[in-house]
């Protein structure tokens, strides 16, 4: 009975977040919510799309016809076993469009080609400490050309580029940062990456992009309010409320890493929980690739154990504040830590919070569905959102027509 109650509650919430609109000239927005209901698997038939979006069946018929003509959905056969004529079912067409996501960070560069179904069709990454603008541009150009040559991809359906990058890429004073890295503070990123193509380029904070990726392709499809923690060379955070990324007054919401770790304010949470802090703890035992962290000698593993315990302890107070002030359904941890280490950290945090016997129920801490490539995948979804999926910004645009 509880499962049925939860199912009905979830479906009611999904319907609220995927509601159509009858605003004059709002056909584009209605098409977006209809496509989204099919894309995430909430609806398969015209009747189900109508039920989830609040639109009429005739309106949905017109919309699905347009989506079929545009190649964004495909017919998937008829649904039998119900009264009346079997209803045609629909599914998203993965080849309806593609988008490129680029993640630039202080220790690596990753690029992905994403399709409309959220599948990564091609991927490349380079472990590179403090890669400069020219190196990143060459990496981008090389793989964009390779993506265009893929036989399984219709190059003319690539609709844009999303770039995920830390807000303070070249301003944070990390160990061994070369003086030449300051070039990122003055480079025009869009101009740097615009050679050889005419796609629109959108630049986004890496943690915000990762949270968007989790929202559209991960646990966010069933947890519409959550806090996302991105573990990379630094520590970032992103906040999703009711299925929308929340930016705050100055676009810097979720900056978990900059929170003071002690009353003096001299140390921050990032100093204790980030890849940089882990590598500092490992010293000369640190691997070149974070994926190798699980196969190190026993001395290194002991240092990792101590780091995990300290990180879990330092995270408890911020997570209590997040649960008290925001009340998310969950806190997801993603980024470049190997999955088993994230699982151990999440368990340690949950155990420490449970031991505090707080009066308020705490949001559970879990590993994100998208981890290593979350910023790149999230960056890639941004052009798809802008072109095809529902968002409050899309609705405002419609209202202003």
Where does the pLDDT of residue 304 fall: very low under 50, low under 70, confident under 90, or very high at 90 and above? very high
320 and 271 share one domain: yes
Question: How does pLDDT run across 75-106, given as a tens digit for each residue?
Answer: 999 876 666 678 899 999 999 999 999 999 99
Encode burial over 194-215: b for 16+ CB neighbours within 10 A, e otherwise: eeebebebbbbbbbbbbbbbbb
309 has pLDDT over 60: yes
CATH of the domain at 205: 3.30.420.40
- In 218-297, which residue ranges form alpha helices assigned H by DSSP? 275-282
Check residue 10 and give its pLDDT.
Answer: 43
Say if CB 19 and CB 54 are below 8 A apart: yes
The residue among 219, 233, 206 whose CA lies nearest residue 290 is 233
324 has pLDDT over 80: yes
102 and 59 share one domain: no
Q: What percent of the chain has a predicted confidence (pLDDT) above 70?
A: 90
Residue 60 backbone dihedrals phi, psi, to 5 degrees: -65, -35
CA–CA dist 147, 323 (Å, integer): 42
333 has pLDDT over 80: yes
120 and 252 share one domain: no
The residue among 278, 299, 288, 282 whose CA lies nearest residue 344 is 278
Name the packing angle between helices 298-325 and 339-355 (round to 10°): 50
Residue-averaged pLDDT of the chain: 88
51 within some domain: yes
380 within some domain: no
154 within some domain: yes
396 has pLDDT over 90: no
134 and 228 share one domain: no
Where does the pLDDT of residue 221 fall: very low under 50, low under 70, confident under 90, or very high at 90 and above? confident
192 and 269 share one domain: no
Higher pLDDT, 5 or 381: 381
Higher pLDDT, 263 or 202: 202
Check residue 78 and give its pLDDT.
Answer: 87
Which structural domain range is residue 195 located in?
Answer: 97-210
Check residue 106 and give its pLDDT.
Answer: 92
Q: Give me the mean pLDDT over the 16-36 stretch.
A: 72
Q: Please tell me the pTM assigned to this model.
A: 0.86
Where does the pLDDT of residue 26 fall: very low under 50, low under 70, confident under 90, or very high at 90 and above? low
246 and 169 share one domain: no
Question: How does pLDDT run across 172-197, given as a tens digit for each residue?
Answer: 777 788 999 999 999 999 999 998 89
330 has pLDDT over 60: yes
Where does the pLDDT of residue 21 fall: very low under 50, low under 70, confident under 90, or very high at 90 and above? low
340 and 231 share one domain: yes
386 within some domain: no
Check residue 167 and give its pLDDT.
Answer: 87
88 and 103 share one domain: no
397 has pLDDT over 60: no
Check residue 15 and give its pLDDT.
Answer: 47
Please give the tally of structural domains in the chain.
3
401 has pLDDT over 60: no
Q: Give me the mean pLDDT over the 279-286 stretch.
A: 95
Check residue 3 and give its pLDDT.
Answer: 40
């Amino acid at each position: 009975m509880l499962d049925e109650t939860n199912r009905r509650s979830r479906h009611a919430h999904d319907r609220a977040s995927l509601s159509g609109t009858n605003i004059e000239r709002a056909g584009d927005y209605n098409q977006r919510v209809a496509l989204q209901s099919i894309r995430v698997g909430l609806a398969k038939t015209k009747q189900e799309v109508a039920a989830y979006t609040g639109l009429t069946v005739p309106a949905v018929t017109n919309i699905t016809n347009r989506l079929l003509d545009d190649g964004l959905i495909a017919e998937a056969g008829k649904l039998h076993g119900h009264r009346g004529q079997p209803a045609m079912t629909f599914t998203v067409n993965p080849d309806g469009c593609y988008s490129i996501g680029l993640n630039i960070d202080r220790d690596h560069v990753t690029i992905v080609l994403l399709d409309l179904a959220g599948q990564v069709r091609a991927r490349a990454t380079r472990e590179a400490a403090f890669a400069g603008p020219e190196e990143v541009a060459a990496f981008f150009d090389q793989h964009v050309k390779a993506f265009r040559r893929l036989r399984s991809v219709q190059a003319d359906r690539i609709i844009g580029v999303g770039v995920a990058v830390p807000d303070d890429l070249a301003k944070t004073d990390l160990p061994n940062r070369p003086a030449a890295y300051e070039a990122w503070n003055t480079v025009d990123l869009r101009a740097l990456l615009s050679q050889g193509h005419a796609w629109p380029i959108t630049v986004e904070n890496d943690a915000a992009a990762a949270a968007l990726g989790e929202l559209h392709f991960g646990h966010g499809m069933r947890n519409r309010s959550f806090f996302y923690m991105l573990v990379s060379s630094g520590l970032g955070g992103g906040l999703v409320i009711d299925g929308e990324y929340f930016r705050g007054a100055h676009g810097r919401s979720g900056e978990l890493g900059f929170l003071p770790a002690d009353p003096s304010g001299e140390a921050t949470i990032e100093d204790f929980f980030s890849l940089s802090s882990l590598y500092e703890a490992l010293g000369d035992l640190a691997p070149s690739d974070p994926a190798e962290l699980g196969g190190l000698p026993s001395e290194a593993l002991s240092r990792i154990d101590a780091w995990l315990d300290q990180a879990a302890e330092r995270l408890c107070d911020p997570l209590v504040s997040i649960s008290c002030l925001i009340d998310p359904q969950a806190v997801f941890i993603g980024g470049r830590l190997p999955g088993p280490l994230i699982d151990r950290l999440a368990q340690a945090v949950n155990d420490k919070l449970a031991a505090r016997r707080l009066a308020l129920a705490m949001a559970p801490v879990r590993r994100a569905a998208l981890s290593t490539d979350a910023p790149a995948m999230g960056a890639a979804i941004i052009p798809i959102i802008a072109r095809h999926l529902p968002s409050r910004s899309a609705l405002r645009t419609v209202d202003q027509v």
